[in-house]
Amino acid sequence: MIKISQRVQLADNELEWQFIRSSGAGGQHLNKVSTAAQLIFDIRQSSLPEFYQQRLLAKADHRITKSGKIIIKCQASRSQDANRQTALEQFIALVASVGHTAKKRVATKPTKASQRRRVDAKKQRGATKALRQKQF
């Protein structure tokens, strides 16, 4: 089981893993071994709550395709296991990020004293600039 939050968990079989060759320079070993891990997760076919699914599909992230799949590729390490663990951590962070709702901002008014200080400071700056001008 993959724990996303206190209430949300996913079964291991909902994630599809592919191991592919890493791109970039690296020599003979890199050209022979499939160390890059690619995690594929179908949002619509998952057991995630509807709230999570809707938020994930609406999220603007390059790892979420238009067809509703999350594809995370990790090739940071030379170890397949380390790449798999990193991809899983990125997946959990992505899914958990939509579970948090931002606290609603309460609009406040500036105090009378702060408004007065602001106007006084503006007058002082104006007076300083007026002194710099040429006098006729």
Copy the structure tokens of residue 44: 């619509």
pTM for the whole structure: 0.69
Copy the structure tokens of residue 79: 């170890």
Domain ranges within the chain, ordered by starting residue: 2-97
Instruction: State the alpha helices, DSSP H only, in 1-136.
Output: 28-32, 50-58, 80-97, 112-132
SS3 38: strand
Average pLDDT of the segment spanning 25-54: 82
Copy the structure tokens of residue 80: 């397949």
103-126 pLDDT tens trace: 899 999 999 999 999 999 999 999
Q: Given this model, what pLDDT does residue 30 score?
A: 66
CATH of 2-97, one of 3.90.1150.10, 2.40.50.140, 3.40.50.10380, 3.30.160.20: 3.30.160.20
Distance CA 111, CA 127 (A): 25
